[in-house]
Amino acid sequence: MSEKKKVIIVGAGVSGLSAGIYAQLNGFDTQIIEKHFISGGMCTAWYRKNYRFDYCIQWLAGSKYGTFYETYKETNVINDDVEILNMDIHNRNLSEDGTDMIVYTDLDRWQDYLIKMSPEDEKSIRRMCRDIRWCCYLKPFDLAPPLRSIWDYTKSFFSCFPALYMVLKHKNKSYAEYIRSLKFKNKDLEKKLINIYGECDFAAYAFLLIMSWYTKKNAGYPMGGSLEVAKRMQSRFEEYGGEMLLKKEVDEILTKNEKAIGVKLVDGTILQADYVISATDTYTTMYKLLKGNYVTDEFKKAFSNWSLFTSFVQVSFGINKKLETDFPVQVVLAKDKKIGNTQLDHCYRILNYNFDKTMAPENKTCIIFRFDSPYKQWKDLTKEEYQEEKRKIEEDTKKLLEFHYPGSSEFIEVCDVATPLTTIRYTGAWKGAYEGFRPSAKNVIKQLKQSLPKLENFFMASQWLFPGGGIPPSVQSGKWAVQVICHKEKKKFISKK
């Protein structure tokens, strides 16, 4: 009997865990190396005085059916014991003048709500909702790109045609440009719709796709949140016999004769492997782990020309009182308002986690504020300046909490401030970009390759390969990497026991 071939995976985020599960399932000897003391990467949460502060999942595309759903079941992202909550409201957008607009997850309900708000725009509203419905036809591929045949693409074309038509029609539009192209007569409604994402170059197609998942109840929230997802995935990996090395950092991916042969840890330890999968952000992979020796023009262009998701600050409150709300997620428009030294470009978000009883003790509440804060504002701060900025942010956010929930500040038991530097310290994500590249008119239909032309036996699994990022492509990329390895080894790929 031949000896098992070894796969080393750098990073125990969702992509790395997915790759590890499939590699182990397909008969490889698999190690995942993670610099943090827990797995999950950005898919995480932490405890403060019995409150759990979640850092990632608000909704999960593919929570009910489809390619993503099957992959979640295979990797234990969700299972039959996990309750999926489908919320009635995506968010409430609160304008500076005190008026609001609710984004309902049920498209028929949202359509009726908008028509009631602006009867003169019924035609434009119905057109937008039709575009969203057509995106429901999208069916992501289960098979890695190098393994697909012409027949696979032909089948996809016919089964997904309405969604593909939306891609071709709107791929070069930003969200704001798309809303304006609908030619609303009521300019106040047009402004409110644009303010969902603002004037940034957020792809129109990304909006349509998100809303299509919601209206099919295929974007639910897994109760227990991000940390439990990571725990379930790690449990599945170890159940299959994989080895997890925590608190170990990889310094370099070792190569010989244009082939990946293992990794070198920061402590000098050398680990040999037949295959290496890097599940870090792609910038770290290219310039730190591979020392800039294999950067392709494709990646150079992406790093130079594609916008990143702006890093963010999260301020989490544990409150010794039940704070009720009809709106678990609120987007408060506050352009040019300052929180600490960050001048807001668009808004801040308020998340009330009453819907998930695992986040706070009984009769208490977990409230989270988030706002974009560019990495460049943080990168050169001294230790003293950093602590002072966190203090200012805590002070300013407590005032916002009191404004939105009068009388609540006296019940604060704990306040935790996480910054872009927190993200970088624990995950290494380049510039603190929590979901990698922002989906824009430049890149929304593009995808970066998982392999490098001049380096054999090396693959990448990461949300950074897919503009928009998130859990679905992260899990899928891990599966795809192992599919290609199995093909190279002439092994039949299996996805579940």
pLDDT digits (tens, 9 = 90+) for 225-251: 999 999 999 999 999 999 999 999 999
For the chain, which ranges sit under pLDDT 70?
1-2
Q: pLDDT value at position 234?
A: 98
Identify whether the C-beta of residue 286 lies closer than 8 Å to the C-beta of residue 294: yes
Identify whether the C-beta of residue 366 lies closer than 8 Å to the C-beta of residue 288: no
Q: pLDDT value at position 1?
A: 45
For the chain, percent of residues with pLDDT exceeding 90? 98
Contacts of 213 (CB under 8 A, 6+ apart): 59, 61, 62, 219
Q: pLDDT value at position 243?
A: 98
Burial of 420 (0-12, 13-18, 19+ CB in 10 A): buried
CA 463 – CA 485 distance, rounded (Å) = 19
Could you tell me whether strands 312-319 and 412-418 are parallel, antiparallel, or unpaired per DSSP bridges? antiparallel
Q: pLDDT value at position 341?
A: 97
Identify whether the C-beta of residue 355 lies closer than 8 Å to the C-beta of residue 85: yes
- What does the block give as tokens for 249? 């950092």
pTM: 0.97
Q: pLDDT value at position 2?
A: 62
Q: pLDDT value at position 98?
A: 86
